[in-house]
Amino acid sequence: MNLTPERILADLIRLNTVNPPGNENKVAGYLKELFDSTGIFNEIIESEINRANFIARLGSGSKKLLFLSHSDVVPAGDGWDFDPFSGDIENGVVYGRGALDCKGLMAAQIYAVLRLAREGAPLNGTLIFAATADEEKGGTYGVKYLMENCPEKIRADFAVNEGGEEPLIINGQMIYFIQVGEKGTAWSKLRARGKSCHGSVPTLGENAVVKMVRALNALAGYKAKIKLIPEVSLLIKELMHIKGITEPLTEDNVDRLIDCIEEDKGFRETLRAMTRMTVSPNIIEGGSKTNVVPEDCSAEVDIRILPGQDKEYVLSELQRYLGDEIEIEVNNYAAPTFSTSQSNYYRLIENVTREVAGSDINCLPHISTGATDSRFLRNAGIPAYGIGHMARGFESEARNTIHGKNERIDVASLHLKAEFLVTLAKQYLS
């Protein structure tokens, strides 16, 4: 069997694994059949019915490299220009939900393992491939479950996962990014309490919705303290060097320097979010009937934090803006996680990237503003690095389709990812 990365991706897209409910068993079953036919050791580990994690191993030995990806995808929604689960391949592009997040990487990983097995290259170590469940809803049935119940199944010297920003061209220089860390989460629930009464005489009550609106208006004016961690300082300084800007980086001028990255607004704002705690009120609920003054109103706030910022820091910052009328609960907390860029693993990824993408490219470390399954690995002492490698000439607008409409990836980028993974495995496990 000689499948291409694009054919594998098309098959994966056609397996609807929208989470919820996930149904990752569809992908696990497909992979089971594929890997069984090639004689590669594999197993399926179910955390719950239909929530399947697929793991395969190639080679043997003490050195271990993990290829990690997740098989669930976010809902497609309406308004697509094509069937989001078609997996159509046209004009060198694969179309469908998951093409970029994260079935494209998974297809490249699958292809890499199959190709290495087919070539029979001797591996002085073990290559582990894991297609896991539930990443889009927090990893409870996926990597988190595996690390809590059978960590030896995916324990490795280091891992390659999603999470890297797509390449960017600045002043004619193509820059590839390697994710070395992630901001933490401190999702919080706010609650305003009032006194109910008949809506026709509202002054007899206390309107909890009005209290919450006042609080959220105050929070909308939140000005976060700038925090330049070493990884982000290095990233911004290198980008400024490429732009030909010699002004020293400080907390006072960081926004002005970031604004100099005119090439891509999405990357520019992502870079800005790497320099501070971000606060985004995204859900508000209150009231039961039009003619009843509400006595209760709640809001849910997405908060992302940097090293040195913890739950107590978040509470103190919110308190400054919300006052005493609003109850605050940090109900989903995870500390930031990092893997050093000063390691042989990082340098190997960097060198292989140059080997397959061209010696004239630049590689820079960065942190993610969102979360991936890499946090579970890092918390268990496994270095994890995220890639978003794409081929030269890739459609930059496609990056905006992640979790959006009309998701797609070009075939050339799939092949570059696959070549990177094959070369990485050969060099580390040779």
Q: What are the residue numbers of the active site?
A: 72, 135
Residues 6+ apart with CB under 8 A from 396: 166, 264
Instruction: Give the C-alpha separation, 68 to 164, whole Å.
Output: 13
pLDDT of 324 > 90? The answer is no
Instruction: Give the C-alpha separation, 130 to 68, whole Å.
Output: 5
Instruction: Give the C-alpha separation, 187 to 299, whole Å.
Output: 11
pLDDT in tens, 73-112: 999 999 999 999 999 999 999 999 999 999 999 999 999 9
Residues 308-316, mean pLDDT to the nearest whole number: 96
Give the pair of three-digit tokens for residue 401: 């389709």
Confidence of residue 122 (pLDDT cuts 50, 70, 90): confident
**Based on the number of CB atoms within 10 Å of its own CB, is 238 exposed (0-12), middle (13-18) or buried (19 or more)?**
middle
Domain ranges of the chain: 5-180+337-429, 182-334
Give the pair of three-digit tokens for residue 145: 């479950």
Instruction: Give the C-alpha separation, 344 to 20, whole Å.
Output: 38
Instruction: Give the C-alpha separation, 96 to 354, whole Å.
Output: 29
Place of tokens 């010297």: 157
**CATH 3.40.630.10 is the classification of domain 5-180+337-429:** yes
Query: Is residue 270 within 8 Å of residue 251, measured between CB atoms?
Result: no
Instruction: Give the C-alpha separation, 222 to 15, whole Å.
Output: 43
- With CA atoms as reference, report the closest residue to 385 among 424, 340, 427, 353: 340
Residue percentage of the chain with pLDDT more than 70: 100
Residues 6+ apart with CB under 8 A from 351: none
pLDDT in tens, 202-228: 999 999 999 999 999 999 999 999 999
Residues 242-266, mean pLDDT to the nearest whole number: 95
Query: Is residue 335 within 8 Å of residue 184, measured between CB atoms?
Result: yes
Q: What is the CATH number of domain 182-334?
A: 3.30.70.360
Residues 192-205, mean pLDDT to the nearest whole number: 98
Give the pair of three-digit tokens for residue 59: 């080679």
Mean pLDDT of the chain: 96
Give the pair of three-digit tokens for residue 313: 């820091």
Residue 172: what residue type? G
- With CA atoms as reference, report the closest residue to 40 among 150, 102, 153, 129: 129
Instruction: Give the C-alpha separation, 304 to 336, whole Å.
Output: 9
Instruction: Give me the pLDDT at residue 151, please.
Output: 98
Cα angle, residue 204 at apex, residues 203 and 209 outer, rounded to 5°: 65
Q: From the CB of residue 118, how many other CB atoms can be counted at a distance below 10 Å?
A: 11
Instruction: Give the C-alpha separation, 159 to 180, whole Å.
Output: 11
How far, rounded to the nearest angstrom, does the alpha carbon of residue 394 sit from its chain's CA centroid? 20
Instruction: Give me the pLDDT at residue 121, please.
Output: 80
pLDDT of 182 > 70? The answer is yes
Residue 397: what residue type? E
pLDDT of 44 > 90? The answer is yes
Give the pair of three-digit tokens for residue 78: 């309406």
Q: How far is CA 295 from CA 158, 196, 298, in A?
A: 52, 5, 11
pLDDT of 329 > 90? The answer is yes
pLDDT of 1 > 60? The answer is no
| Cis peptide leading into residue 122 (ω within 30°) | no
Instruction: Give the C-alpha separation, 161 to 388, whole Å.
Output: 9
Give backbone dihedrals phi and psi of 207, rounded to 5 degrees, phi first. -85, 110
- With CA atoms as reference, report the closest residue to 209 among 278, 299, 128: 299
pLDDT of 352 > 60? The answer is yes
Residues 165-172, mean pLDDT to the nearest whole number: 94
Give backbone dihedrals phi and psi of 39, rounded to 5 degrees, phi first. 75, 15
Instruction: Give the C-alpha separation, 184 to 273, whole Å.
Output: 12
Instruction: Give the C-alpha separation, 144 to 138, whole Å.
Output: 8
